[in-house]
Structure 1
Amino acid sequence: MKTLLRITKLASLVMLFTLASCSDDDNGMAPPPEPTANIVEAAQATSDLSTLVAALQKADESANNDLITALSGDGPFTVFAPTNQAFADLLAQLDGYDSLDDFSSQQLQDLLAVILTYHVVPGAAAMSTDLSNGQTLTTLQGSSLEVSTTGGVFISDATDVAAQVTTADVETSNGVVHIIDKVLLPQAILDALADVILVPITDLALGNENLENLVAALVAADGDLPTALRGDGPFTVLAPTDEAFETFLDGASLDDIPTEVLTQVLLNHVIEGELYSTDLQSLGAGYTSTLARGVQDANISIFFDTSDGVTFNGVSSVVTPDVKALNGVVHVVDAVIDLPNIVDHAVANPNLTSLVAALTDGGNTTFTDLLSNEEEEFTVFAPVNDAFAAFTNPNSNDINAILSNHVVVGAAAFSSGLMNSYVNTAAEFDTDENLSLYINTDDGVTLNGVSNVAIADIVATNGVIHAVDAVIDLPTVVTFAVADPNFSTLVQALTELTPSTDFVSVLSAQGGAGDDPFTVFAPTNAAFEALAAIPAEDDLIPVLQHHVVAGANVRSGDLSDGITATTLEGDAITINLPGTGDNIADVTDGAGNTGIGIDAVDVQAINGVIHVLDAVLIPDTTN
């Protein structure tokens, strides 16, 4: 191309020189010099046509062809010259052809020659001004091309996509070249390469008689879906058969399904990226995401399992794998994959069968009814089978209460939004006092210090599941003290520093087996650090007892200004509302120290409640 530009500039200079040399009464103009480069030489000089030149050379490796000599001859010719990108697009469309080197046999080289001669119109050097709308051009290959001049200059071949002229009227000594953005294909080539020409996913579905219902659904849903699936992708599409759609509709019609719902169902069959059956089998089982949108507009998860064929969400099996398309891969499946809620995901995963069995034991529908509710959002921490196998239920707690302790109602908490904090579960201390759950994200995600998230963010329509490696038993006040790193000094004081008193056993009592329930005012590590020194054991024991009120589960809503409570140590504490500064409430201890702040309230355990203090309470040492 640079050479051609230099030739054009030279011709312009010559013309100007000639005009300047003419007398004033000479009205004639000397014609510009004729181009000296022929079509092949012009292509060789144009960097964006280097693949075209290589294709000519590859075709000429067959004894049947001599294209370079022919196109260097007298002509005249009109040549539509595909760019390097056009050839790259063609190779991407041919399954098994990564470069021109793959045209290695004489037969394939002759096919390449057929393609190339389809770009040559002999007997004329047709400038763009000579081309007209609807004009038919007969090529050197023998088939016709059709011209469109609407919105530019376009050349139509036997495919559905026309080539656009991007650079017109490159004159040569034996014709004219028009540079185009697509390789033109005659019908003969489409027939010869039918088995290897890849088409976009939408076109592949259009051409499959067993996917007519899928095509109809795509059209009935979002009108942009067929176009989207013709896009660059790549996509993995799970294409339900006609019979699968008939089963899904169950006598209804596509018109009976709201457009938005149908669109999401179809998008639940589209995975971004290419996943061939070998990719899935190498993974074995697991989750990926579809383009459907679930809770909080997150991409819905889909579970695949290759233990017996390839199945998705436990309901749909691949019957024809790895149908290659230009922009991805299609797996034909035998069932429509509906949008999964929390229960659907739990049932689909064979590693959650123990959880499902526990949830539905004895025909129990409480949990399935709750977690199928599409009007609510849930976060479910789902113990895997091994977790259930290892769980001994040491406190003989009600299994339904334990299961409830894995469910957060009213929020879908994704891993990216988790932090060291407390949330409430569906389990209850009494009738309306939901148990707390402590989430720690210092190293992964740990729950109540005993259970770790193994698989995060399984997205459903009504919530999110996190698979966990241990059953989360109903927590005692000791559970939270041990789990929360802000109480590590308190735990040390209750254990290592006071070996003569078994505070752990005392504060672990539940169900009326001891002095429970407890109301614990728990000092943070910072509260202990503010002391001049932690007292020795004999003095530390009454200090710790001064933080516990036995026999009552006193929540923040039960407090009133000036309320007093007697502690295990024997002295009373006084609580004033509201607190000063940032304090929720102020506490006066047995020694008369005032302004001790309650910073957090209502960490609810199965045997009591914790309120967090910013200072250590000191009992009256004079009595």
Structure 2
Amino acid sequence: MTRKLLLAMGLLLYAALVESADLMELIASKPELSQVDNIIKSDEVLSSLLKSKSYMAFLPNDKALSAYQGVKDSTLISYHLSNLPYLVQDMPDELNTDLVGNPRVYVSKVPSGQPSITGWEHLHVYINDAKVIDANHRAISSRGMKQVLHIVDRVITPTVPRGVDFSQIDLMYLNPDAQKLIEKPRYYGLEGPLSISEFEGRVNALNLHDVYNITGKNTFFIPVDTGINIRDNKTVIDKQVIHGHVVPGKVLFTRTVKDSRDEYESLAFTDNLKVFISMENVSSSDNEDQYYVKSRTIASDVAHMKGTALARIVKGNIPIKNGVAHLIDRPLMLVATNVLAILQRTAQLSMFYDLIKNHNADLKNMMIVAKSLTVFAPSNEAFKKVNKRQLEQIQMNTEKISRLLRLHIVERILTTDELMDRNREPNLQVPTLNKGQNLYFAINFMDTESPVVTVEGAGVTGTLTTANVIARNGAVHIVDRLLGIPSQTVYEKLATDPILSATFNLSQQEGWNEKLKNRDERFTLFVPTNDAWADIRRTMPSAYKKLFMGLFAYHVRNILERHMIANSAFTLEDLLSLTTNATVSGKNIQQHRLNMTRGKVYFQARVTQSFGEYYTDWNGVRAKVIRPDLKCVNGVVHVIDKVMMMNRDVTVSGSAVPAASGLASLVATFFTVAFARALHH
């Protein structure tokens, strides 16, 4: 009998034993529910009901109650009770509660990827935004009715009028839908910085209240007043924009959205206009939860531009009769005045904005007045990945900080649509504001609905986590790396750069690439692109097959070590000084060999009037350096367009590697390898 089966039987036996107790006794037996227990015992009516009637309780533990800032009384507990005793895996997607007016809660179930031991562990179950962390404790009331207890990690807060005499208001406001919420926001504490009167005014002026009383389960995003520029934005909040703030037929609480790539059609999804909505968790370990909502307009009309608008959720998870509402800090679908405004207003870009504001006033002004710019803006989390001391040293040097900032900016509008169209260009690149420095792009179409776009600048590769945030004078793409300051090892660089995946996969044989993880070592690596290996597959199909089948690790090692200089990290400038007697702009450049880990390779420079081209040359195989100086914390990678190998590199006799199958075989293999090395090197 397996351990899991024994555990399941034990839990079932325990459940059978506790069914002799009522729900009150069961709650009292849980130390983590001591605060709830005290609240319930202080209310005789509620205590009596929990002893005698059929109930399902989903109660917050002591940690959750301690963190809750609101009133902690039996009224609050009533919102955590339902008179239908469901096991957690059997819960429907909505439940009426025992609170006055019977406001509902919403149940979301997300696969956990874990085995189901007692029937529910294969799911993450959320009730509104509270997660079930313990479930299916059964009891039986004094009248013989079934009862069930679940424990959640947050207090579930009802949307009820506050500081209002219930006898003086319409009963429909006790359990409001979205329309009632925006009509009487003060009833529910939505005033001051949470006031939504400006947006409600536009809804009223356009006679669109019916949008907010649609039945069913929906998600509504409502901008607060401080995010609406009365002079510029108010009139452009038209019918389509208001529709773009509603996701019909789907309840989205923040914690239930696990992947920012999950997009939902908004009400603004018609023949001519198509707007998707998605949500993203940008919380970090040392901050409170931060969530953003994005509108992505993929089909536009005269009044509405294509692109992404980004808003921060300032108050989320407001449960209402027809779904859930979130208050956001600015309207969706509207473009910002300029790219600097996007950086300034987006909390997750505050560190990048502060760098510009504090260290480059000219660049700041340019981002306001320029007609067309694209900014690849690193998020705050990206800054946390770099060496803090190194960044501080760069900030102390005016020239270095200027170059670092300008590396992230392109003097034209560049959207991901254009990058997709140009994806077949070899070595897709765009010049930055730093003369001579380019950004390189790669697109992974493994997920055709949401292709992954990566950008590389000065050797650092980042992924676009939010693309095409549109301003009137350009676009902003949020990136998960600070370009120009290495934070990855050579190993991590190979593992994450999509155009180097073939070399990385090959280097994994017998753990050859494990050495590249060592941050105390230094390496210079000339890395062939995937296209370079595709060329080997066309021209040397037999050799290619042998290398990638995993049985010829010895030969793989020989080839890879021909592309590596161990114990040194040489930039392009270093390589030129090693192999020439002149600078790049000089004449009479001579060729010299580099001492690789295995053998020697020529390094050459060809200089024209405007730029230089650089090559490695080995036995007539001439490889162009197409991306130099990809700096890592333990070395430098130079990307080349050819593999330095020949067919005879993979010539074998008898087996893929020397095997201890007899002295004659060993001697024969030794002379074969020695002869091959003499020819090649």
> Normalising to structure 2: TM-score of the pair?
0.38
Larger radius of gyration: 1
